[in-house]
Structure 1
């Protein structure tokens, strides 16, 4: 973004903040509250609906558990742990060349021109 466009956007935001009497502290508090709310979510469905596990279960949780789905299926922490535990590598069981000559021939390194 060029400097003129940035300055224009900043000036517009400052005017709107003054118009509605919004302070930078209020914006910072709102952002912090949003982040806290996002981190508090323990369960999330495929549509992005979240629930912190406290209070009455929202309708999407009630419907899913009534249909036989476990609550742990929607656990955010479980999904994060799975992603962090994944090891990089190749699943050789899916190798289409397994057992053929292509699987045993060593590739020669490419030479720079």
Structure 2
């Protein structure tokens, strides 16, 4: 990623954090927290270990054409939603480019 794109992404993330009242310290604490069990995670915080029956949310996403790799967590990237993310549960994440990624940690069920 070139430096201009990187700077643009950082500005976007800072703006979104301000919109939802997330401080850099809260984000760092959440990322440093003990990882939750699970190999796959949805944008809504639902997770699945990859063992046993596949959950309905993942079946629906795969049926809609999404790749299972889209939901796969990298080692150490899984973290429980922060209290700030839970407070923003009413947020509309449908147009968020990070939905389904480790950057999206909203539990907006």
Higher relative contact order (CA 8 A, sep 6+): 2
Asked if Structure 1 and Structure 2 have the same fold, meaning a TM-score greater than 0.5 normalized by the shorter chain, the answer is no
Larger helix share, 1 or 2 = 1
TM (normalized to structure 2)? 0.36
TM (normalized to structure 1)? 0.35
